[in-house]
Amino acid sequence: RELRTVAVGRRNWTFAGSDEGGRRAAAIYTLIATAKLNDIDPQAWLADVLARLPDQPAKRIHELLPWNWRPQSVAHAA
């Protein structure tokens, strides 16, 4: 079922620009599908992860995975 959107947009993949562009698009689709499978809003998750990533220690990167992710509270973020 998750591949339906990929199959529907198949003609668009010819315009990915390059093989590397296709790989990047596949990676983004994987991240979005994983967030959806974990009942998380992909846009909120990705925005939060990208904002927290520069300050996140490498040994705690697992906390940002969709199945472990908890949104940062507004009071905690400030």
Q: What is the pTM of this model?
A: 0.69
Mean per-residue pLDDT of the chain: 80
pLDDT band at 75, cuts 50/70/90? very low
In this prediction, residues 30-42 reach a mean pLDDT of 91
- DSSP for 1-54? -TTHHHHHTGGGGGGS-SHHHHHHHHHHHHHHHHHHHTT--HHHHHHHHHHHGG
Number of domains the chain is built from? 1
Contact 72, 48 (CB under 8 A): yes
Q: Which domain covers residue 63, as residue numbers?
A: 4-77
Of the candidates 58, 35, 53, 55, which has an alpha carbon nearest to the alpha carbon of residue 45? Answer: 35
**Cα angle 51-26-54, degrees, rounded to a multiple of 5:** 20
